[in-house]
Structure 1
């Protein structure tokens, strides 16, 4: 998919929305030098073209009792399309999986998982890995601290 042409006004609008997606068009317009209507039209185009995939609230795992974060690498038994697709579907169905990446290298997948405690993570590992004959091996790292968490993207990549 060819990325849409974004001008400096588009990237300025995106920067405002990445900082706080609840910022109203009037405030964004004042910051970037456009009318609220022009900002709204640009935001609609950015949504329609897929530049803005979705807008969500960022929740605190700690405030919700999800005190533990795990980074798990997974090596599959076979690298067949049906095996990979089935594992993808399983990760999509698990609420505790926050992120899942199909990667190159020694592992096939890297997962970021949030759980309340080790017992919940143990139940997750049994469902996802130990009871799955297509998983050859998995390795878990326990996050000691949330140093940086975010989904904001660098927008000044021109030149």
Structure 2
């Protein structure tokens, strides 16, 4: 597995940002098409994409699946407050949340709660089973609060890029 460089050490120029802009919209875009759009050769685009994958700038190449089409119809945001601030206990929670298939996103945050989770489940019974496994079974979880969504108004994974900035 390639060594991932810390994000602050990765230097991206305007060509890298232009490639990322195209790939975020459709990562199946042929590299020769990207090359034509941004003014590089296809091998240069290929080298840049490979470098961005190796450094962790491109974290994954995945299909974004509509949860309704696979009958995962309930989306829940969950605030989780922990009893103790001990690092090892937070690390255990991070691991448990990261490994739970229902948890799509997990953020360790500042403020009144410690974690915010984005959860996708098929039924409320599935959500209850997950809460028993992740929250009630963890003695360090002080409380959790759930927000069940009524409509997915906007769901995005694209990171805003300033492709006009000349970073060369």
Q: TM over 0.5: same fold?
A: yes
Aligned to 1:139: 145
| Structure 2 residue aligned with 1:155 | 161
Shift of the alpha carbon at 1:4? Answer: 2.2
Backbone CA RMSD of aligned residues? 1.3
How many pairs align? 159
The structure 2 residue matched to 1:38, chosen from 35, 44, 47, is: 44
| Runs of 5+ consecutive residues of structure 1 not aligned to the other structure | none
Q: 2:106 aligns with which of 89, 97, 100?
A: 100
Matched, 1:78 2:84: yes
Deviation at 1:42, TM superposition (A): 1.1
Task: Return the TM-score normalized by structure 1.
Answer: 0.95
Separation of aligned partners in 2, 1:41 and 1:89 = 34
Secondary structure at the counterpart of residue 144 of structure 2? strand
Distance 1:49 1:93, change over 3 A: closer
Structure 1 residue 19 and structure 2 residue 25: aligned? yes
Residue 3 of structure 2 aligns with which residue? none
- In 2, Cα distance between equivalents of 1:50 and 1:121: 32
1:54 aligned partner: 60
In structure 2, the gaps of 5 or more residues are 1-5
- In 2: Cα distance, 1:3 partner to 1:68 partner: 39
Q: 1:64 aligns with which of 58, 63, 70?
A: 70
1:89 aligns with 2:95: yes
Higher RCO, Cα 8 Å, sep 6+: 2
4+ runs of 1 displaced by more than 3 Å? none
How far apart are 1:5 and its partner, in Å?
Answer: 2.1
* TM-score in terms of structure 2 length: 0.90
Aligned-pair CA distance for 1:6: 1.6
Q: Which moved more, 1:124-133 or 1:66-75?
A: 124-133
